[in-house]
Structure 1
Amino acid sequence: MVQTSTVDPLSLDFAALRTLCLVEDSGSFTAAAQVLGVNQSAVSYTIDRLRAVFHDPLFVREKGRQIATARCQQIMDEVRPMLTTLDRLARPEAFDPAQAQARFRLACNYYERLLIVPHLVALLREQAPGISLEVVNSRGRGPEILLHGGADMLIGPRPVAEGGIYVSRLWAEDYVCLMDPAHPAAAGPLRLDIYLTLDLIDITYEGNWTSPYLVELERSGHAITPALKVPSPAGVARLVAGSTLVATIPRRLAHEIGEGLRIVECPVPGGFDITLVWPPRVHADAMHQWMRGQITGLRRQFAGE
């Protein structure tokens, strides 16, 4: 129940706001209390004070979890960047990766999780074992997640809306066709008229991304008639193997997952850039500058520079 008494908002401190976020992250007062090293009653008292300030229940219990109300989500969207900024200000400017203790949140999707994240994990274990990595699924909302404090960095296709964020190009990508070696078209080269008759897999990316080759195909007055639609490139190699299905996927991804399969040049142009994106709040931070440098260093491996 929301308290009716009025509490001065200026009486709140950052610890109370951090507690709010921890309850949301963990889904319970008990788990938040464990992270903070206090008892559950202390967390309950803090949430009650916040309820009195914001005149909202903030959390409702559903299926054993504390679920944030819409008003609470709005509050946390404003609070999280403030907490991140405070953490940055409290961190010494000098940065020693070997001694650093921090959490780094990376927003990306399947392509980056498969190709880039393993290299980043290995690098952190070797050079900065105290930095823990959390991977967030960007689902086409990367810039929004960054600006709302849900991640520290984004790797993925160049975002459509670039206002208020930094963007650095990593490398260029294009498309190839992945098919079984016994497929009649596997010998290549593949003409457009033949391509359009194949049993094509349409990777929809859950409506969050339209592959540039499909955009180019539409511009030329053509469209595919897919034999199968899937939400992600995950698992397409198994779908292709031993079948007549053909998957049109980014070149580097095809070489990563296509062992034993045939990779044929796609007859439809449609390249795009893989970019590194970060918000202004971490631009000058020493740790984040170091992380950006490590990821940029992967360019030599993936782009052949």
Structure 2
Amino acid sequence: MDHHDLDGQLLRLLVAGHEEGSVTRAAARLGVTQSAVSHLLDKLRAIVGDPLFVKSGRGIAPTVHADLLVEQARRLLDQLHAFRTAGAFDPARLDTTLTIAANDLQRDVLLPPLLRRLRAEAPGLALRVIPSGAPQAALLRDETCALVLTPRPPEATDILQRRLFDDQYRVFHDPECRAAPQTEADYLASDHVTVVHDAPRCTLDVDDWLLAPGLRRRVVG
């Protein structure tokens, strides 16, 4: 065995054995059996060429060589931890522009709290908002934007989606112009407004629901 066989588990064993002064307590601290500690300790002894620990009463005592190595082991463990976390995402270090595609409702409901959080956690990030219309997968594939906020996500298997919240349709009317419709026939015969998207054959969910049983609203605007 040589230094290439050294790993974090062996370094943790050296530190645990040095601090605990007991194979039993070192095993409990590391979450392994005493036999596993003995096996790992034999491996570590072969690598460094020193007994490292000797029996002392009911426990173990470090050798002079172990006293010298344990401080270096702690530093190496700290460096391993720093290596693992070096690539961790830190929003405070961002210095770029994030483009989001969204329409009126999504902008009004979701973006104000998002902007407040970005100012607090990612002050170097600039937020750019573009209209999504009836969004197409090309918005994301062509990197026109990084995120689309929409109730009608494009049908594409290569795009990740997540539901943010649920909403419901409501019927609004102007009481100065007329009373609220009382029947289905009255509702359908009333003048309605709707949202028209640029995409062909892109209708609202409410119209799709009505068309299923053969019903149609009277849209005038």
Q: How does the TM-score come out when normalised to structure 2?
A: 0.54
Is 1:225 the equivalent of 2:218?
yes
Partner Cα distance (1:118, 1:168) in 2: 19
Q: How does 1:1-305 map to 2 (within 5 A)?
A: 93-186=87-180, 190-207=182-199, 209-228=202-221
TM-superposed deviation, 1:213: 0.6
- 1:208-262 CA distances to partner (integer Å, 9 max, x unpaired)? 631011011111112122222xxxxxxxxxxxxxxxxxxxxxxxxxxxxxxxxxx
AA of the residue aligned to 2:209? E
Q: 1:94 to 1:136 in 2, by over 3 A?
A: same
Give 1:140 deviation, angstroms: 1.8
- For 2:177 and 2:126, locate their aligned partners in 1 and report how far apart those are by CA, in whole Å: 44
SS in 1 for 2:162: strand
Indicate the structure (1 or 2) with the bigger Cα radius of gyration.
Answer: 2
Q: Which runs of 5+ in 2 are unaligned?
A: 1-85
Backbone CA RMSD of aligned residues: 2.1
Distance 1:105 1:142 in 2: 15
Residue of structure 2 in register with 1:34 after alignment: none
- Higher strand fraction: Structure 1 or Structure 2? 1
- Stretches of 4+ aligned residues off by more than 6 angstroms: none
Instruction: Tell me by how many angstroms 1:153 deviates.
Output: 1.1
- 1:117: Cα distance to partner? 1.5
Residues in 1 aligned to 2:164 and 2:107: alpha-carbon distance in whole angstroms: 15
After TM superposition, give the deviation of residue 143 of structure 1 in Å.
2.1
Contact 1:102 1:132 in 2 (8 A): yes
C-alpha distance in structure 1 between counterparts of 2:184 and 2:124, whole Å: 51
Measured in 1, the distance between the counterparts of 2:170 and 2:219 equals 16
Describe the SS at the equivalent of 1:116.
helix
Would the aligned equivalents of 1:107 and 1:153 in 2 still touch at CA under 8 Å? yes
Give the Å deviation of 1:183.
4.3
Q: How far, CA to CA, are the matches of 1:128 and 1:154 in structure 2? A: 20
> CA contact under 8 A between 1:142 and 1:154: conserved in structure 2?
no
SS in structure 1 of the partner of residue 189 of structure 2: coil
Per-residue deviation, residues 252-291 of structure 1 (Å, max 9, x unmatched): xxxxxxxxxxxxxxxxxxxxxxxxxxxxxxxxxxxxxxxx
The 2-side partners of 1:226 and 1:158 are apart by 21
Q: Counterpart in 1 of 2:37?
A: none
Cα-to-partner distance string for 1:43-70 (whole Å, 9 max, x where unaligned): xxxxxxxxxxxxxxxxxxxxxxxxxxxx
Contact map agreement 1:143 1:165 (CA 8 A) in 2:
yes
Whether contact under 8 Å (1:104, 1:132) holds in the other structure is yes
Count of matched residue positions in the alignment of Structure 1 and Structure 2: 135
Distance in 2 (alpha carbons) for counterparts of 1:138 and 1:215: 21
Give the equivalent residue in structure 2 for 1:300. Answer: none
| Structure with bigger RCO (C-alpha 8 Å, 6+ apart) | 1
Q: Offset at 1:199?
A: 1.7
> Residue deviations 1:114-159, cap 9 Å, x none?
2212221122122211110111222223422101111111111242
Runs of 5+ unmatched residues, structure 1: 1-91, 229-305
For 1:148 and 1:204, the matched residues in 2 are separated by 25
Q: Cα distance 1:185–1:207, how it changes in 2: closer, same or farther (>3 A)?
A: farther
